[in-house]
Chains A and B, each alone.
Chain A
Amino acid sequence: MAEKRITIQATRFDPEKDSAPRLQSYDIPFPDDSMVVLDALNYIKAHVDGTLSYRWSCRMGICGSCGMMVNGTPKLTCNAFLRDYWPRPVIVQPLNNFPIIRDLVIDMDDFMHKLKSVQPWIIRKQEIPLGGGEHRQTTAQIDEFKQFSQCINCMLCYAACPVYGLNNDFLGPAAIALARRYNLDSRDEGFTKRLPVIADSEGIWECSFVGECSVVCPKGVDPAKAIQQTKLDTTLRFTLPFGNRD
């Protein structure tokens, strides 16, 4: 029997040489049904073309490095199985809505700034000393914010977000979900500090209920819900007579 093979078409772009991204085709062996798109890229890099650039590390869906467009859908390539695409070719492109640094590597500085802007840390009016032990927190209180704490910053939601695609000033799904994660944490008192950043940010009102971000999230986070809840918080704050919520 002939060896099973698969075609990978990967975006190539080196700003030192290329004026625009292009697709390069690689025909590689596909000997094992357990292979994922990332395995294919690693095969190409090790044995066919050492110049292909992309990010990856944990290959277990938790480090968030290997997000790419796979046949037009944002995916973690470490758990996108080739068997789900074969015998069709697999088109691997950098995540939508981001500038390309090189090949499949996107520039995510914008997110790093936005992440910091929502103050993703516990804010308290008064710190309790370490000697005072832990804050008590029930499982029910953890469940309030738990899903929003599962974000791995993989950027798939930004690649899927039509609002971010039109307007990069939009704070975006993951940053809002992470702001929500802290706002909902029983230990946190930073709601009023974060609210202006989120309320004044561009684009939050353009977000529809489409929820592409939640659909593509590989970790079951529902950023669309975080955004809708945040809109509600914002409205309450400006309509209630004593809207000084903490």
Chain B
Amino acid sequence: MGTESYDVLVIGGGLAGIRASIAAVEANPRIRVGMISKVYPMRSHTVSAEGGAAAVLRPEDSYETHAFDTIKGSDYLADQDVVEAFVREAPIEVIQMEHWGCPWSRDPDGKISVRPFGGMTTWRTCFAADKSGFHMLHTVFQTSLKYEQIHRHDEAFVTKLLIEDSRCVGVVALDQRTGRFDAITAKAVILATGGLGRVYAFTTNGNICTGDGMALAYRAGAGLKDMEMVQFHPTGLPFTGILITEAVRGEGGYLTNKNGDRFLKDYVPNKMELGPRDIISRAMVTEFESGRGFEGPHGKYMNLDVRHLGEEVIDRKLPFMRELGREFMGIDIVHDPIPVRPVQHYMMGGVGADISGATEILGLYAAGECANVGLNGGNRLGSNSLSECLVFGAASGRAAAEYAGSAKPVTANPVDAMLWDEARRVEAAYLEKTGGDEKIGTIREEMQRDMDAGAGVFRTKEGLEKLTDQLGGLRERFGRIKIEDSSRTFNTELTAAMELDFMLEVSQTIVASALARDESRGAHARRDFPERNDEKFLKHTVAFSRGIEDPRPRLEYRDVRITNFKPQARTY
């Protein structure tokens, strides 16, 4: 066991985490920043983002329209002051990425190009072909290598936040290669751990998206906000769930049912394929239920058709989609339609944080998908999340650096004791555990199947109550897991078990929050309450832990901050 100390400690090495690390150093070049990631940073799930990053760059565009599109897209659950600040920062961040070398696609005049995206009234999504996340992540990661003040802890898994006198003073992390537990302390800690898509079976998210940061914060006493708001992307490949970017529709692709109809004319006639994700996913499920979907070996699907765009446009704007079609489906999208169906993609909910990323725990900040700063409300617009990682990653980095400059140093004694306790807890619960007959793989698969069935595109009271019981049963069985691997060296069964523990925790907050929201808003669609109810539910849900004895979260409600955009009916 060891101890290491920083001014600012960032948990997560994706776009938000790296942007936060750089911002902290640039705010104060004298500070030391630690960056912990459970994978090498360039493996972070930002890498899979495809379509682009939204920013107002064009004279014909305006902050007001980007703000309004985002707020309307959120079904009025976004905090409007946060959105208004975000849209002003996003262009600066996109230019910063350009200066760092991001290979943004360009217009003939050499300026950064923009493309249309769902729910956006004008072209404002900057892109690097259809590998925007990949290029942004590698750009920001490679740029981060020039800052000697940033010290990386790659492949270290955080098991607990250290809280002393109600202040976050660091983490306990397991070094996966050696199996050693370390206390890594800091005056300020930033969570940037990404999403939780792996609580579902059918998801675009990579294996690492297990809600770690949300669970860590929740256990430390922070509130998880709007956890019922789970985004289902309309276009995932059947079987794998691999994301087919919204840019396919942005560039002019059609979505058709088995009758060959562009069925979105019946749902979002003014937007068609460029409607928001929540509404299009519901439209697809409704069409499936009406018997108008295709039947394939891996379930129902619709066709996403880009054949009319031609090979040249496809190769210039959507080369990765062609590659994915070839490599994973054995089709050539130049000649064949792409089979797609709705797939879990993004978590609007997350650790409640203010505009600077500060959470309700002193010294603890959150940014990116693991956070809920109030930007996305009930439904995030496509291409706002890469921008969100940049804007709020940078904001939290600056705020954490400033706080660290005036915060008291972390005292060693209680930290040593906390490290010892946490290492003992993990050893006793997993490594030295004897007996048990439940496999973590089985519990995880059941959780994922149950979440798909009960907390998917459409929800009901009955379904959510059943899911509550199922998760309770899985939590109980988790206590009887059998860990076969007792090695200290790169023990991925141990990390998988701890990830499952986190996933069961955050799943319960999703279900409890969804069960209590008796209305339909954004991505939260209740068949038994199909209308939006502003009188009762123009509010954020905040879920708090009651401790390990009682798995049911305690729910509170917070007002949504409205500035210039009064809630109105959301039609497209």
Contact = CB atoms under 8 A, between A and B. Distances in A.
5 contacts: A45-B492, A47-B441, A121-B100, A121-B142, A137-B106
Contact of B100 (A62, A103, A122, A178): A122
B536 interface: no
Interface in A112-168: 112, 115-116, 119-122, 127-128, 130, 133-139, 142, 145-146, 149-153
Interface in A86-130: 101-103, 105, 108, 112, 115-116, 119-122, 127-128, 130
Contacts of B297: 32
Given A50-B441, A59-B240, A64-B42, A138 B106 contact: yes
B528 interface: no
A153 B145 contact: no
Contacts of A130: 92, 95-96, 99
Contacts of A63: 42-45, 47-48, 206
A120 B138 CA distance: 10
A46 B45 contact: no
A25 interface: no
Contacts of B373: none
A53 interface: yes
B206 A58 contact: yes
B439 interface: yes
Contacts of B143: 121-122
A60 B110 CA distance: 31
A11 to B, nearest CB: 13
Interface centre among B106, B177, B496 (most CB of A within 10 A): B106
A115 B43 CA distance: 15
A45 B101 CA distance: 40
A75 to B, nearest CB: 12
Contacts of B243: 60
A112 B41 CA distance: 11
B110 A136 contact: yes
A238 B545 CA distance: 67
Given A127-B99, A128-B99, A136-B109, A62 B487 contact: no
B439 A119 contact: no
A128 B100 CA distance: 11
B261 to A, nearest CB: 28
Contact of A14 (B106, B110, B484, B487): B487
Given A134-B112, A149-B103, A62 B146 contact: no
B268 to A, nearest CB: 28
A40 to B, nearest CB: 14
B68 to A, nearest CB: 25
Given A120-B142, A134-B111, A138-B108, 4 more contacts: A34-B239, A50-B496, A136-B109, A149-B135
Interface in A17-44: 17, 32, 34
Contacts of A112: 40, 154
Contacts of B484: 49-51
Interface string B125-152: 0000001001100100011011000000
B488 interface: yes
Nearest to A111: B40
Contacts of A45: 441, 492-493, 496
A120 B100 CA distance: 10
Contacts of B208: 57
A59 B242 contact: yes
A246 interface: no
Contacts of A185: 101, 103
Contact of A34 (B39, B131, B207, B298): B298
B95 A142 contact: no
A50 B99 contact: no
Contacts of B323: 61
A74 to B, nearest CB: 16
What band does the interface of chain A fall in when counting residues whose beta carbon is under 8 Å from B?
Answer: 35 or more
Interface in B438-474: 439-442, 444-445
Interface string B280-293: 00000000000000
Contacts of A191: none
B421 interface: no
A120 to B, nearest CB: 4
Contact of A60 (B100, B108, B242): B242
A3 interface: no
B134 A62 contact: yes
Interface string B13-33: 000000000000000000000
B491 interface: yes
Given A65-B39, A133-B95, A138-B106, A101 B490 contact: yes
A119 B146 contact: yes
Given A16-B487, A64-B42, A59 B206 contact: yes
Given A127-B99, A142-B103, A46 B111 contact: no
A60 B240 CA distance: 9
Contact of A134 (B45, B95, B134): B95
A135 B98 contact: yes
A57 B137 CA distance: 15
A187 interface: yes
Nearest to A60: B242
A139 B106 contact: yes
Contact of A62 (B39, B48, B154, B483): B48
Interface string B92-127: 100110111101111011111000000000000000
Nearest to B324: A60
B489 interface: yes
Contacts of A65: 39-40, 43
A189 interface: no
B103 A79 contact: no
B485 interface: yes
A51 B485 contact: yes
Contacts of A182: 101
A134 B240 CA distance: 38
Contact of A152 (B101, B104, B134, B441): B134
Contacts of B483: 50
A139 B112 CA distance: 10
B45 A57 contact: yes
A150 B47 CA distance: 12
B165 interface: no
Contacts of A79: 327-328
